[in-house]
């Protein structure tokens, strides 16, 4: 007998002995038995059974009631589901955990406030905190896309914030991490590339900050209106704590509690600053970490600028160093990098001239003309600027000439729109495409997964090209790379995404049509006759926005992420599941009906697919024998609701029990 044959024989014998021991162990009483329910296993057959049993950290039985009752002993806790549902622990694969709890900051809480209400809140925050003159006020959870209507005599955010805080620099941090708004006391603090404080004005927008025109809002006179988006926010040197997701260690346990209360047992922190890993380590050391964490490391790219370009090698080395330091921790995985390919797709129709979106798109943004009703705080589409006209060409050839307030006024009086509206914009990539693709290639080569923020169709295409290039360069590494959000996709790129087998982390809550939000997007993508045309079925946006079902059929894999605290600090998994299935609002309007997915696909996105993306599908993500007992008991049968045409009530689901590794962590 050869050594190899002898080894094989010993392996077979050991397997037989171990198998017998496991079967003997399975006859022992279970610690917890669930019966009479709808147990969605999320296995490869998407099977449903009636009972499940656990012992210690593991699932020891999945099947019918009789088999489960056979495992009931004197100390077994028996849970009668009474027709209620048991799910695998939920996976939120795009969330910002440290921002889902209130840290006591001045906070708008995503409320759709008009400008007068914003001014009142800011003024109250300053008074309550007794801020010394000249000290910054940072305001959390400002909603750029809803509210902000002119009111109280204020037409711009700058005017409202100036009235509220004439002696304090103020910044409103957008709840999406991309938008911002400041007052005059903040604008004067802007520093140029030479480190000189020159302030942001019409003059410096034409010189020092010309490269930021796409992300700085202006008023009719070409002066800043207070809107600072993306990297433009950093020009005024604001306090960055809110943006970086810093949270006192004593509040970390509240993060764990909120996740458990929502049935979430695994998360991807979708933009993890390196220093925040210490807070997760502290939570783990305390014994209060009731979830698994994958950290998508977000590095400050400008800090890696060197003469000759960006030092990608050093970026990779720093992530590998973090992985070596923190990966030995149970429940914490450092194997992913976050890259922002572009920004966001909301414009501002309530500004005059309208602020354009900045997400990277293939076709130029439309230049809509709006009639603004100051009393009602609303805008109506009244037409579009013909950017191909001879007049617009003339303006673009001498744009600086048309930036003076007097020329602006005369032009508007004669043309009916502002010279700024002759601009042709396709939005901006957050970084040069060459860097994006090189960073992706080196991440893949180093064994680091990629999580890319993509909103516009040009950003999606850039990311897809990067994924194709790294596959050609490195071969198939087997790493599961993912795209987050995926708001707009060109039809030509559907098959390419499917061929790559990319994981798509949709925030399904955003699939609900919302008139005020959609007015900030749709009119800038398609030429619409009026607001009544907002959901025109054949428009480019309506047929290509969040194409979940279309991409899944071609080979992409659907995961799910709440992106909390965007819109709300609540992760809302069941609202997300509802919208994945319905894509409808209360009025029955459906956003891209072809993109709807069925209830089992939605549940899989939140469970087994997320587990595969995380990298622990052999241990959790489905309710199968031997896996960790990560499970969620809810108060209703979601499968029946969907089958009975009642999917619009899924959002009302309540979590009754969350179990993590066999231990109840929420009741």
Q: Encode pLDDT of 72-84 as tens digits.
A: 999 999 999 999 9
Helices (H), 210-332: 241-244, 252-261, 277-286, 312-326
Q: What is the average pLDDT across 162-170? A: 95
Q: According to the model, what pLDDT value does residue 597 have?
A: 98
Q: According to the model, what pLDDT value does residue 246 have?
A: 64
Q: What is the average pLDDT across 521-546? A: 96
Name, in order, each residue with C-beta under 8 angstroms of 83's C-beta and a sequence gap of 6 or more. 36, 37, 38, 637
Angle between helices 599-606 and 573-582 (to 10 degrees): 140
309 vs 319: CA distance, rounded Å: 19
Q: How many CB atoms lie within 10 A of CB 546?
A: 24
- Nearest CA-CA partner of 77 in 23, 29, 24: 29
Threshold 0.85, pTM exceeds: yes
Q: According to the model, what pLDDT value does residue 250 have?
A: 80
Phi, psi of 341 (to 5 degrees): -85, -40
Q: How many CB atoms lie within 10 A of CB 536?
A: 15
pLDDT for residue 22 is more than 70: no
Q: What percent of the chain has pLDDT over 70?
A: 95
- Nearest CA-CA partner of 424 in 383, 393, 462, 466: 393
343 vs 174: CA distance, rounded Å: 12
Q: What percent of the chain has pLDDT over 90?
A: 83
503 vs 482: CA distance, rounded Å: 4
Which run of H or E residues covers position 334? strand 332-340
547 vs 112: CA distance, rounded Å: 28
Which run of H or E residues covers position 414? helix 405-415
- Nearest CA-CA partner of 615 in 341, 312, 339, 323: 323
Q: How many CB atoms lie within 10 A of CB 331?
A: 15
Of the pLDDT bands very low, low, confident and very high (cuts 50, 70, 90), residue 13 is very low
**Within a 13 Å sphere around the CA of 392, how many CA atoms are in the beta-carbon half?**
15
Q: What is the average pLDDT across 412-418? A: 93
Q: According to the model, what pLDDT value does residue 27 have?
A: 73
Q: How many CB atoms lie within 10 A of CB 136?
A: 17
Three-state SS at 203: helix
DSSP track, 141-210: EE-SSS----BTTB-SHHHHHHHH-TTS-EEEEETTSS-EEE-HHHHTT-B-TTS-B---SHHHHTTTTG
Of the pLDDT bands very low, low, confident and very high (cuts 50, 70, 90), residue 399 is confident
In sequence order, what are the beta bridge partners of 80? Answer: 35
pLDDT for residue 21 is more than 70: no
Q: What are the angstrom distances between the C-alpha of 108 and each of 121, 136, 220? A: 8, 16, 27
Q: Tell me the two tokens of residue 305.
A: 């600028």
232 vs 228: CA distance, rounded Å: 5
- Nearest CA-CA partner of 65 in 46, 45, 86: 86
Q: What is the average pLDDT across 187-212? A: 92
- Nearest CA-CA partner of 452 in 171, 94, 128: 94
Q: What is the average pLDDT across 228-241? A: 88
Of the pLDDT bands very low, low, confident and very high (cuts 50, 70, 90), residue 146 is confident
Of the pLDDT bands very low, low, confident and very high (cuts 50, 70, 90), residue 241 is low
Q: What is the average pLDDT across 136-152? A: 90
In sequence order, what are the beta bridge partners of 666? Answer: 658
565, 141 Cβ separation under 8 angstroms:
yes
Q: Which residue has the tokens 């993912």?
A: 482
Q: Quick one: 241 exposed, middle or buried, by C-beta within 10 A (0-12, 13-18, 19+)?
A: middle
pLDDT, one tens digit per residue, over 362-397 is 999 999 999 987 667 678 999 999 999 999 999 999
Of the pLDDT bands very low, low, confident and very high (cuts 50, 70, 90), residue 103 is confident
Residues of the chain within CATH 2.30.40.10 domain(s) are 28-88+622-666
Task: Considering only residues 130 and 653, tell me which one the structure prediction assigns the higher pLDDT.
Answer: 653
Q: Tell me the two tokens of residue 27.
A: 């006859």
Range of 61-65, 205-209, 306-310 with top mean pLDDT: 61-65
Q: What is the average pLDDT across 177-194? A: 93
Q: What is the average pLDDT across 85-99? A: 97
564, 576 Cβ separation under 8 angstroms:
no
Task: Considering only residues 243 and 534, tell me which one the structure prediction assigns the higher pLDDT.
Answer: 534
Q: What is the average pLDDT across 13-41? A: 69
- Nearest CA-CA partner of 521 in 361, 645, 298, 295: 361
Three-state SS at 586: coil
Name, in order, each residue with C-beta under 8 angstroms of 584's C-beta and a sequence gap of 6 or more. 512, 513, 590, 591, 648
Q: Cis ω on the peptide bond leading into residue 565 (within 30° of 0)?
A: yes
Which of 22-31, 511-520, 523-532 is least confident? 22-31
607, 91 Cβ separation under 8 angstroms:
yes
Q: What are the angstrom distances between the C-alpha of 136 and each of 56, 110, 237, 430, 462? A: 51, 21, 10, 27, 38
505, 93 Cβ separation under 8 angstroms:
yes
pLDDT for residue 7 is more than 90: no
Pick the CATH number of 249-342+429-614 from 3.30.1650.10, 3.20.20.20, 3.40.50.300, 3.20.20.140: 3.20.20.140
Q: What are the angstrom distances between the C-alpha of 630 and each of 41, 328, 473? A: 12, 21, 39
What CATH fold (topology level) applies to the domain 28-88+622-666? Urease, subunit C; domain 1 (2.30.40)
Phi, psi of 340 (to 5 degrees): -85, 115
Residues of the chain within CATH 3.20.20.140 domain(s) are 249-342+429-614
Which of 142-146, 439-443, 462-466, 537-541 is least confident? 142-146
Task: Considering only residues 407 and 100, tell me which one the structure prediction assigns the higher pLDDT.
Answer: 100
Q: According to the model, what pLDDT value does residue 244 have?
A: 53
* Total number of residues shown for the chain: 667
Helices (H), 27-156: 65-69, 115-129
Name, in order, each residue with C-beta under 8 angstroms of 125's C-beta and a sequence gap of 6 or more. 106, 137, 139
- Nearest CA-CA partner of 589 in 579, 597, 599: 579
pLDDT, one tens digit per residue, over 492-504 is 999 999 999 999 9
**What is the overall mean pLDDT for the chain?**
92
Q: How many CB atoms lie within 10 A of CB 86?
A: 26
502, 564 Cβ separation under 8 angstroms:
no
């Amino acid at each position: 007998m050869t050594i190899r044959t002898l080894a094989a024989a010993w392996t077979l014998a050991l397997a037989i002995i171990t198998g017998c021991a496991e079967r003997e162990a399975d006859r022992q009483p279970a610690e917890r038995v669930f019966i009479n329910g709808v147990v969605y296993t999320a296995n490869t057959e998407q099977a449903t059974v009636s009972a499940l049993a656990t012992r210690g950290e593991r699932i020891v039985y999945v099947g019918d009631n009789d088999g489960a009752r056979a495992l009931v002993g004197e100390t077994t806790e028996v849970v009668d589901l009474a027709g209620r549902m048991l799910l695998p622990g939920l996976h939120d694969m795009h969330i910002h955990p440290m921002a889902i709890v209130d840290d006591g900051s001045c906070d708008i809480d995503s409320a759709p406030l008009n400008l007068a209400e914003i001014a009142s809140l800011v003024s109250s925050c300053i008074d309550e905190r007794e801020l010394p003159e000249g000290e910054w006020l940072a305001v959390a959870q400002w909603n750029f896309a809803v509210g902000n209507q002119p009111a109280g005599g204020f037409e711009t955010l700058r005017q409202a914030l100036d009235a509220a805080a004439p002696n304090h620099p103020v910044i409103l941090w957008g709840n999406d991490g991309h938008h911002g708004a400041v007052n005059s006391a903040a604008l004067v603090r802007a520093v140029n590339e030479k480190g000189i404080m020159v302030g942001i004005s019409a003059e410096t927008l034409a010189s020092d900050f010309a490269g930021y025109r796409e992300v700085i809002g202006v008023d009719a006179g070409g002066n800043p209106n207070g809107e600072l988006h993306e990297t433009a926010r950093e020009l005024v040197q604001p306090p960055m704590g809110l943006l970086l997701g810093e949270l006192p260690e004593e509040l970390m346990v509240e993060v764990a509690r909120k996740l458990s209360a929502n049935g979430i047992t695994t998360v991807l922190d979708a933009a993890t600053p390196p220093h925040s890993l210490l807070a997760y380590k502290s939570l783990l050391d305390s014994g209060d970490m009731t979830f698994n964490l994958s950290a998508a490391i977000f590095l400050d790219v400008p800090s890696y600028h060197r003469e000759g370009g960006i030092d990608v090698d050093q970026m990779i080395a720093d992530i590998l160093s973090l992985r070596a330091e923190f990966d030995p921790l149970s429940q914490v995985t450092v194997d992913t990098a976050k890259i922002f390919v572009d920004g966001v797709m909301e414009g501002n129709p309530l500004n005059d001239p309208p602020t354009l979106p900045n997400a990277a798109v293939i076709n130029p943004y439309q230049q809509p003309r709006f009639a603004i009703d100051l009393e009602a705080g609303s805008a109506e589409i009244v037409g579009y600027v013909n950017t191909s006209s001879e007049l617009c060409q003339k303006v673009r050839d001498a744009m600086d000439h048309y930036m003076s307030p007097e020329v602006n006024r005369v032009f508007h009086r004669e043309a009916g729109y502002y010279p700024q509206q002759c601009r042709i914009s396709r939005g901006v990539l957050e970084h040069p495409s060459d860097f994006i693709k090189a960073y992706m290639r080196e991440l893949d080569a180093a064994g680091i997964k990629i999580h890319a923020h993509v909103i516009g169709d040009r950003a999606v295409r850039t990311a897809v090209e990067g994924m194709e290039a790294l596959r050609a360069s490195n071969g198939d590494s087997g790493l599961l790379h993912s795209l987050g959000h995926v708001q707009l996709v060109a039809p030509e790129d559907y098959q390419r995404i499917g061929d790559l087998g990319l994981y798509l982390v949709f925030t399904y809550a955003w699939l609900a049509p919302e008139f005020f939000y959609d007015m900030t997007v749709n009119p800038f993508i398609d030429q619409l006759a009026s607001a009544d045309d907002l959901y025109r079925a054949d428009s480019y946006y309506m047929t290509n926005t969040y194409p979940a079902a279309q991409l899944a059929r071609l080979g992409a894999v659907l995961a799910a992420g709440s992106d909390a605290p965007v819109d709300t600090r609540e992760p809302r998994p069941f609202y997300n599941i509802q919208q994945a299935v319905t894509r409808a609002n209360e009025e029955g309007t459906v956003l891209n009906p072809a993109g709807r997915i069925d209830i089992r696909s939605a549940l899989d996105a939140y469970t087994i697919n997320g587990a595969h993306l995380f990298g622990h599908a052999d241990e959790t993500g489905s309710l199968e024998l031997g896996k960790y007992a990560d499970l969620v008991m809810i108060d209703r049968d979601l499968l029946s609701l969907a089958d009975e045409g009642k999917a619009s009530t899924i959002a009302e689901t309540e979590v009754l029990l969350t179990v993590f590794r066999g231990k109840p962590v929420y009741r």
